[in-house]
Structure 1
Amino acid sequence: MQRVLVIAFLAACGSAREPGPGSGSGSAPTGPEPAPWSDAWVNREGKRFAEDDAYRRAALEKSLVNHTNTYSAQRLGAYALVERGWDVLPVWNPRTLPVTADLAAQLERGDMPAIVEGQAPLWDGKVPTTMEGWVALGKRVFFEYPMRSEVFMEWGLTKRALADSVGVERTSDGTIPGLVVFANVDGRTRVGITCAICHTAVRDGELVVGAARRRFDYGKLRLEFFADTRSFVEPELARRMGTWGPGRADVTEDNDEDPVAIPDLWGLRDQAVLTQAGTIEHSSPLALAIRQDTQLTHS
């Protein structure tokens, strides 16, 4: 199920264009082999990525520049192994609610909204068969699929002035893009972050999808949480969090604090390598699909 959502997310990213003249659809197939990001490619590769474990494994191995670093070792030891590793984890199709103005006000009071038992999950179980279908599902993934529960953000929403100061932005109708309330795997209702927390911006009250959240200061939010709750944090870790500054994030999986600038998503398909360390060779869109698939699993 998650692999279908990942391909949908990539279709949505591939359809994104920087605002302005010249925006249009993806490139058309050239010859018998469909061009990457074309409608034909998305439909063909989406099916293979979702159903062919050997195909995914080969794509993973091809995409990794250095097979011995932490990032690569984690994935080589757990991904697309069929009967072990991450493949045997239970399927999770979350039920989520966007943080609208009303929900934000409720969370500010410290009241957690309820996710009703009968609410439909994010995905209806039907694999899209058209580019339009993939993009529509991908947009839902981008805005509604929680990467993880986020205790710092949940706490920050109870302090409106602080949330505003660290770049928890609101559209003109009060919706907070990038945040959802969801039913976690343990049954508890939590606040979660989605891709949109870093890759959207609000300008003059309007949402700009794909723009980096330049005002988002996650390091400051975490430091304020530790200070307010009197939770212990190593002095050196606190010092490094204090140097993050706005518009930066650390999406690595080590124990270090090494954030980089949050990128715009425009032009993503044209990048030769992915991640700040150049860990992934972006020779095929499947490399990015696997990056997203494993990031969701490992978050």
Structure 2
Amino acid sequence: MRQKSIGEVLRSARESRGWNLIDVQRMTKIQAKYLQALEYNDFEYIPDSNYIESFLVTYADALELDSAVLLDAYKKNSLVIYYEEGEEEELSTELKRRYKLRKKNKKDSFLPLFYLLLAAGLMIIFVTFVIHSRMKQISLFSNQSTSYSVSRQVTNSSSSIASTSTSGNVIEESSSNSSSSTSSSTTSASEMIQVTGSGESISATVSKFTYPIDITVTADNTTSWISLSNTTLSGGVTLTPDNPSATTKIEEGVSSATLVLGVVKGVTITIGGQKLDTSALTTQTGSITLYFEQ
């Protein structure tokens, strides 16, 4: 075993591969004169010390040598241990092994980043799935509200005909029937809200009111996301124990609105000062179609 200079190591490795300086220049993009300066240890010929280290690393990598060993020898101004009589091949193999190991370690360093990106991607997919499911549920509520609206319009038409017939009878009745009509009117005033339907969707008809009409939704010791179409709450709001209630108004010209409840249990609705009976909602989430008839 003996020691070699940096230049001797580079030149021996290049010649063992049958390459000339022009071949190495083409591979490394380093001018041949600077490659020759490295092989003759004439480092002062290279104008910048930063270039020297860069050229050493590039040249060593091209020859599949351990650039760290050569850089260490350059910085310490020392020689490189050289094995002869067959040992040089063993050294070359060791240098190659170190180079491959360094490349493998570099690949391994990317694994944590890969797993982090994978976890972030899975989280994004999960959040997207939850939002999509929620939007699909709201769309289902809207479709069901439309079907209730059609049924309610037919019922209202029948009620209108019956009301017209009753009015005719009132004109023909005596003063005693007028008293009875007054009593009936008082009873109807107390029944301002009429609820129909059951399950996850119900309908409520609000009558005998004056625009605008206040609607208040309150969550008692629970958290519930709500939205009410055709109002300032159409974009939705979350009720919590810290923010338990939300109030909005139904303005003149609005004949119907759909109230969506993310959680039914523990939520109360007040319309024009009258509490809405939600006992017919038997599911965890639900929707209420409100009709306003003056």
TM-score bracket, normalised by the shorter chain, equals under 0.3
Q: Which has the higher strand share?
A: 2
Structure having the larger proportion of residues in helix? 2
Larger radius of gyration between Structure 1 and Structure 2 = 2
TM-score (norm 2): 0.21
User: TM-score by structure 1 length?
Assistant: 0.21
